[in-house]
Amino acid sequence: MSHRIRTNPERNYASIDGNIRRARPSSHTFEWSEAGYADNDHEPHTVEFLRFLSDFGFPRGFVVPIHGPCGFVAGVALAGRKFDLSPKTQPAIHIITLYAFDRIHQLGAVKSEKTRPLTPREREVLAWSAQGKSAWEIGEILNLAKRTGDEYAKTAMHKLGARTRTQAVAIAIRERLFNL
């Protein structure tokens, strides 16, 4: 079944989409049901937008906010009729989405100066983060205080131009700074 998209530029869906409103201030993934549509059901544009999504086979979805050093850049949405994304797979989808977005951005970007290299300890902290270890667990593994491990992660994030630890891991994977 194919759909012909009938959008009207005057509608400015970006300004009424609860997903975008929710993604701008947050770096955490969320399902559309958490985007606050229920709070705005009285707004005719919101009801129209939800109908638009449903008409095109997107009754449920998952959003990954993308932030850069200067703030919100984009939101990537995954959706479908039988959308079932378990909490166990959400972290993997999150990092894959950040990686893919960053890779696409890098392909289209003008080459700039190389980022400062990460220290071995910063790479190690990101590698353990990629394996799903908490800050406390990383501290225990590396025989560091949790705060020291967090500082290594924060420095690595700054060097890589990432806003979150997950984004730093995605960039480090892209740059092959450690092996998984």
DSSP the chain: --------GGG-HHHH-HHHHHHTT--S-EEGGGSSTGGGTTSHHHHHHHHHHHHTT-SEEEEEEEEETTEEEEEEEEEETT----TTTHHHHHHHHHHHHHHHHHHHSPP-PPPPPPPHHHHHHHHHHHTT--HHHHHHHHT--HHHHHHHHHHHHHHHT-SSHHHHHHHHHHTT-S--
Reply yes or no on whether the pLDDT at 119 is more than 90.
yes
Say if pTM beats, i.e. exceeds, 0.75: no
* Second-level CATH architecture of 91-180: Orthogonal Bundle (1.10)
How do the domains of the chain map onto residue ranges?
9-85, 91-180
Q: What is the mean pLDDT of residues 77-91?
A: 77
Q: Does domain 9-85 have CATH number 3.30.450.80?
A: yes
CA distance 176 to 179: 7
Q: Reply yes or no on whether the pLDDT at 17 is more than 80.
A: no
Average pLDDT over residues 25-54: 67
pLDDT digits (tens, 9 = 90+) for 43-82: 556 666 667 777 887 777 788 888 877 778 888 888 777 7
Tell me what percent of the residues of the chain surpass a pLDDT of 90.
Answer: 23
